[in-house]
Structure 1
Amino acid sequence: MPLTPEVLTANSQVVARLGGLDISFTPDEEPWFTVDGIESPRQIGSDGSGGTFVLLPSQNVLYASSEGRAGIIAATFEAFIQLVVARPYWLDVLKFSAGGDLAEMRRAADALEATLDDEDEVNEAREQIRKALVLPESDDPVDALYEAVAASDAIVRATDGSPFTTLFNRFSIDNNPMLRNAAA
């Protein structure tokens, strides 16, 4: 049986563990953006920074940030959960992607992994979520994220009609002394 939001949210322990990885499965009450060609985007959750996750009719998972950035981040809901479990700092990987450079994203992921707060707690959450959902590890979560965002053709608009920009940001870990040192 494929992993769906309904299957996942039926497991309160997994939902709590994912909450520790900054994912909530309580969607926003009021829509604050639109997706071209989709009548009523199905918001499935949010993160602590005010961003929203949307399950598209194609089964892709789209992320819309509160800062006006958006794009598809996973090909399926299961791939989305694999991404969050493997790389809970996935949004920072995009922030430090140097405009969408895969090699830079890999550097960022390695540096971010090295600087994890409560590494033991995160690893325990990863293990428990995978076990409870019988979720295989993603072969290459950074590549999957890169491919999804690079191929994203969803047009997300703010309520005033202005389009959101890509999730790839221009920063590199070299712009952040802590990450630069962690990568050295």
Structure 2
Amino acid sequence: MALSPEVLSANREVAAWLQTFDVSLEPDEEPSDWFSIDGIEKPRQIGSDEAGGTFVLLPSQNVLYVSSEGRAGIIAGGFEEFVQLVAACPYWLDVLKFSSGGDLAEMRRAAIALEATLDDEDDINDAREAIHGILDLSEPEDPVGALYDAVAASDVIVRATDGSPFTTLFNRFSVDSNPMLSDAAA
């Protein structure tokens, strides 16, 4: 059986483990009215994060992330790839934040620093192990590279209620702009 939001939502254990990675697969009953997606009348929201962001499964099966701060982009080429990304790189959104505007080398550097600074490393590793074991998922070969490729190729236009387009998920910060990360990257 293919991995889908319905399969995952039905598995309460996996859904609980995903909470460790700040992913809730309990979509809102009503579609969000704070954004629209060009060419898609009724976006299929499949979950959210604690920061108010929304995960959307597009008709192409790509997973789109829409942040509550006006940023949006495709983060995975499919639902299974999305789950693999979240488990392998639970700090994926911070990797994008510290990407120096979409520099892959800086993203890799950020991932190494963020992995080194995980607060609840045991919880994260337990969740990774449980999700991979329960779902029989393979480890992604290069989650940061796959994230970069997905965001860089993202051509979906998400708009705020006033019609203005959301910006890319790549942010301008670098690892060196955060003392804790630059120390961990050294």
Matches within 5 A, 1:96-115: 96-115=98-117
How many residues of Structure 1 are paired with residues of Structure 2 in the alignment? Answer: 184
Partner of 2:158: 156
SS at match of 1:24: coil
| Candidates 117, 120, 128, aligned match of 1:118 | 120
Q: CA deviation at 1:30?
A: 4.4
Structure 2 residue 175 is matched with structure 1 residue 170? no
SS at match of 2:47: strand
CA distance in 2, matches of 1:54, 1:147: 18
CA distance in 1, matches of 2:12, 2:26: 13
| Candidates 26, 50, 53, aligned match of 1:51 | 53
Superposed CA RMSD in Å reads: 0.7
| Aligned amino acid, residue 48 of structure 1 | E
Q: Which runs of 4+ in 1 moved over 3 A?
A: none
| Aligned amino acid, residue 99 of structure 2 | S
Partner of 1:146: 148
CA distance in 2, matches of 1:131, 1:35: 35
Output one character per residue of 1:46-91: Cα deviation in whole Å (capped at 9) or x when no partner.
0011000000000000000000000000000000000000000000
SS at match of 1:43: strand
Partner of 1:7: 7
SS at match of 2:184: helix
Show structure 1 runs of 5+ residues with no match: none
Q: CA deviation at 1:4?
A: 0.4
Output one character per residue of 1:140-167: Cα deviation in whole Å (capped at 9) or x when no partner.
0000000000000000001111100000
SS at match of 2:19: helix
Partner of 2:89: 87
Partner of 1:34: 36
Matches within 5 A, 1:11-30: 11-28=11-28, 29-30=30-31
SS at match of 1:23: coil
CA distance in 1, matches of 2:46, 2:86: 14
Structure 2 residue 77 is matched with structure 1 residue 75? yes
| Aligned amino acid, residue 63 of structure 2 | V
| Aligned amino acid, residue 108 of structure 2 | R
Q: CA deviation at 1:26?
A: 1.7
TM-score (norm 2): 0.97
